[in-house]
Structure 1
């Protein structure tokens, strides 16, 4: 599908495509800078593709959700962005705002059209402004990276989307194949971008229509009601001591985040990465469908949370807030990663970003502590006044072991320190940290 004509791509994933009226500006036959041979190249591109420009824009239904589609035609001068391309994309975003429709960009471009010089490059500003205006209205944007997605197309519509899907083996990067440094071609692939936290998922062409339908359903289902806290996944009595609470939370038999998410949602789709080069496999983020509505989630999975994990979770909460979708967070970490690599990656700033995202969210955030609640790295995921706790979990200012080290007390006193920290689930309720201890679902 990556090099299919634009209309074939649209036809494979959508129904009832209606193309927008084409804005056609007057321009010299050889373009704004009178590039020799440009007129002939355009004429050949039109004859070869049957299109008048490098993008086709219109509305269609993907599943049951109507959306604005922006489909690049690579066969038309390499899908390059020229003045008329900018006209079409700007008009498409304007329609999306007027009709409050989500935008799906099916990208296949080599970048700006050099035959139009700086006039072509300026289209990136137009596209970025149109996308930003649309984003400010809470209208979701999804990009699909086809082959190739390079230059300004990647740096605006591609990388700037709320959810970024990519086709397998697609060439993705700011530098096109003819201008990048020699070596490391694997760095310019969709797979590399996924590994480096710049793409949410790779989708096969056969699954693209279904995947887009799921994402559009999730991102357009707004709700003002808070997410209910999940039920406990196993029967567990409350611990009699703090050390028992710590041992229960650290037990390998205790349910983990993925089990909670699978039990809570009918189905869900993950987002991945912090968009800045990092992925934390110990943080699961995405949007799920539950009882006919969408709830976003950011879940710690029991490992120390890295800066990339905090940044990914903050991105998720900010996106959900902008789209009007409530958030569920699951707390389960011994603490924030605190090694040299984490410090170099900006641990403090990443944790601060998550604290700010939760604190300033315009939608309700619900938190359940499902395992270890280790200090500030756990608290950054917790909603003030809307936190619950599972019976086999704890929350503490720091771990009992770290407290012993800080206080210069021997390891033999760690269990006693755990008792003194008042970290049991029932202690958290008494202290006003948690609203209640959740129970196992009946029936």
Structure 2
């Protein structure tokens, strides 16, 4: 416990302007609501050791230029556990954030609920969940920074329930604390690194970088906009393909610019959202996050040219719903030969994940813009496309199915694949004429619109 930074030390890592909020007064019975023998003495010792009277410290501060409500757990006070007094403070912090339209940042370090208060302690999780839900309804971002340890109900509410979850390297993170796990449990599964790999946390952030990281996230998530983002300029070929197969060949060319190049050119800076919060991540197939484009925030979900995994679709749906709630416009980049269709993808719920992304796009009230930058392979690509505001680059195509597979389904010989590509009308200019895309973007930002 001695080597774990206190709540005040954690706050000093991220701000120099912390102003503590007034706390609700609670008059508890001797030794607490259960009359737990020695509870008052334990609290007195914790207070003497830490200088705090509860396991959380709440206040308002500027974090690298953005005003926010901060909640910091004091692990030295009864293991950072949640009791009724903790719930009072957390509920008051959320209420202040809502009343003053401020984002909320939680610096979490907790062992769970306070046993000396029994079920009354456990029900504080419901209070926190209700307060968090009210903040979501108010369209306020919530960010968690996971310190060591983050376990139990604190992880399952303020931690995992945040919009963005950052974690300090090496922190113990998991619902089960070290004393209640199965004896044969792999300790590596209960780490910040494992939670990022499993899609439950977004990124590892060293303590010395936490202030800057929180500052970037807070700035980006607190700048709503009602204008649709413009499509990026084309980075590859500028001339239109002559045939359908020419379009396919150019889209599949290994040297063609991919999502990372487009994102780097479009944003002056960006932060990444990672993981589907269901146990999976697809870092190689779907890039999601928020970036700064010409002074305003734009969210992005970009396929990377590989077959998209179910976790990738769920992460994109998570991104779009968060951006929609915060009023932030979204840019999507389509580039996939199609959804992953192996047995593992089916076991991971490929169909349900794609359906959920279709639903997120369809329900979004925030403006969405899509650019097809490479392969547009069937429904696995269309799920990411904005209806009525999709554009294409000259070195892309969009097809109901790959020409080779279309020929096979239609029982055509391999020699008919190129002719099938033409018949499918998958070139960018064909898509404009069909009304599937609005236009073809050029390298200078020009947009060649076609007839409907």
TM-score, normalised relative to structure 1: 0.99
Contact 1:250–1:371, Cα closer than 8 Å, also in 2: yes
Q: 1:49-60 counterparts in 2 under 5 A? A: 49-60=50-61
Residue 137, structure 1, aligned to residue 144, structure 2: no
CA distance in 1, matches of 2:111, 2:3: 13
Task: Label 1:289 to 1:179 Cα distance change in 2 as closer, same or farther (>3 A).
Answer: same
**Corresponding residue for residue 160 of structure 1:** 161
Residue 320, structure 1, aligned to residue 287, structure 2: no
* Cα RMSD after superposing both structures: 1.1
**Corresponding residue for residue 220 of structure 2:** 218
Contact 1:2–1:108, Cα closer than 8 Å, also in 2: no
3-state DSSP of counterpart to 1:15? coil
CA distance in 1, matches of 2:291, 2:172: 30
**Corresponding residue for residue 228 of structure 1:** 230
**Corresponding residue for residue 426 of structure 2:** 423
**Corresponding residue for residue 45 of structure 1:** 46
Deviation at 1:29, TM superposition (A): 2.4
Residue 10, structure 1, aligned to residue 11, structure 2: yes
Task: Label 1:2 to 1:171 Cα distance change in 2 as closer, same or farther (>3 A).
Answer: farther
Q: 1:246-395 counterparts in 2 under 5 A? A: 246-280=248-282, 281-395=284-398
CA distance in 2, matches of 1:343, 1:403: 22
**Corresponding residue for residue 242 of structure 1:** 244
| Number of aligned positions between the proteins | 443
CA distance in 1, matches of 2:152, 2:138: 27
Deviations 1:394-438 (A, max 9, x none): 000100011011111111211111011000000000000010000
CA distance in 2, matches of 1:386, 1:15: 44
1:411 maps to which of 402, 411, 414: 414
Residue 195, structure 1, aligned to residue 197, structure 2: yes
CA distance in 1, matches of 2:80, 2:329: 38
Contact 2:232–2:445, Cα closer than 8 Å, also in 1: no
Task: Label 1:84 to 1:332 Cα distance change in 2 as closer, same or farther (>3 A).
Answer: same
3-state DSSP of counterpart to 1:112? coil
CA distance in 1, matches of 2:311, 2:435: 30
CA distance in 2, matches of 1:240, 1:227: 30
TM-score, normalised relative to structure 2: 0.97
CA distance in 2, matches of 1:389, 1:442: 12
Deviations 1:168-216 (A, max 9, x none): 0100000110011123000000000011111100000010000000000
CA distance in 2, matches of 1:324, 1:140: 11
